[in-house]
Amino acid sequence: MKHCISLKDFTPEETQTIVRTALSMKQAPERYRGLLAGRWLLMLFQKTSTRTRISFEIGFQELGGHSIMMDWDTSNFAISPIRFEVRYASGHVDLIMARLKRHADILELAAHSLVPVINGCDDRYHPCQALADLLTIYEAAGSFAGQTLTYVGIHNNVANSLALGCAHCGVHLILVTPEINRPAFDGETIDRLEREGALERTLDLSDAVGRSQFVYTDTWMDMEFFSDVSYEQEKERRSKKMLPYQLNAASLAHSDAHIMHDMPIHPGYEIEAGLVDHPRSLIYRQAENRLYAQQALMLHLLDIDVS
């Protein structure tokens, strides 16, 4: 049985197959209807979501399956060890997608589940987002060959997942990350990929943007802290430090790169509001592609033949 906790669970060939299948599902959805008939998906959320919730629910049902939405705090996952709850729940469903706060908890969930588990974003990885981002790059460029992506912002779970996904697909990654979220940082993977030449690190945003076909940013504050009043001081410190690294008209002045952001948007922080609907923005397409990337991922984990 295979899980998707991070893209380390896949070979480069598997990651590329999922992306290509996702594009095929987007282009000819009627070919895939009914492949999940009679199957059940449990969606477990410990954190807020818009895209993950909508795209998994619609994505699974479009393929003929049924889904159950469960909020962590109103379930008994909140008051009992994960291993007992998931052992029971996984006996009733075919697949679990969980958005949990702590990476250790999704590992425990997967270790005791009877069915494949998908990480819907924890503090270390966001593999579903990276798959949708790779699909978006592949769709826009027509190929992965020769593509360079700059990620500018805080080094977080999305940065870790992009690093793994880009390496699997041969997309060169430039990280412009003056601040690191710990414990999110997967230093072992980042150092290895840097040694192998799959990625580079710099603080020269202008140079990085000038060498990239795609420029990507993400929130400076993790979602669970964004509206937390006790985090106000840290939010102010980060904003001051990160403002020179904001994606805006000035930082993209000499670039014709596509603009990427995984949403939700925090206008005036990591990105200037006007860039969201910019002619070169792929932001809504990235969000739309979550559905197809996850449909292909689910079929892969359930070992369903899509040929």
Sequence-distant contacts of 68-71: CB under 8 A, at least 24 apart: 68/40, 68/41, 68/42, 68/43, 68/93, 69/43, 69/45, 70/42, 70/43, 70/44, 70/45, 71/45
> Least separation, in Å, of the C-beta of 125 and ligand CP?
12
Q: Of residues 77-106, which lie at the interface with ligand CP (CB under 6 A)?
A: none
Q: Are the C-beta atoms of residues 166 and 173 closer than 8 Å to each other?
A: yes
Pairwise CA distance, residues 102 & 16, whole Å: 28
Identity of the amino acid at 14 = E
Among 119, 129, 157, 255, binds ligand CP (CB under 6 A): 129
x-or-dash string of contact with ligand CP, 262-281, rule CB under 6 A: xxx-----------------
Q: Which is closer to ligand CP, CB of 4 or CB of 35?
A: 4
Q: Are the C-beta atoms of residues 77 and 84 closer than 8 Å to each other?
A: no
> Least separation, in Å, of the C-beta of 52 and ligand CP?
3
285 contributes a contact to ligand CP by CB under 6 A:
no
> Least separation, in Å, of the C-beta of 91 and ligand CP?
27
Taking CB under 6 A as the binding criterion, the range among 38-46, 58-66, 111-119, 259-267 that sits at the site for ligand CP is 259-267
Q: Are the C-beta atoms of residues 258 and 215 closer than 8 Å to each other?
A: yes
Q: Of residues 43-72, which lie at the interface with ligand CP (CB under 6 A)?
A: 49-52
Among 19, 106, 121, 198, binds ligand CP (CB under 6 A): 121
- For CA atoms 290, 292, 298, 303, the dihedral sign is negative
Q: Which is closer to ligand CP, CB of 35 or CB of 247?
A: 247
- The residues of the shown chain that bind ligand CP, judged by CB under 6 A, are 49-52, 121, 129, 262-264
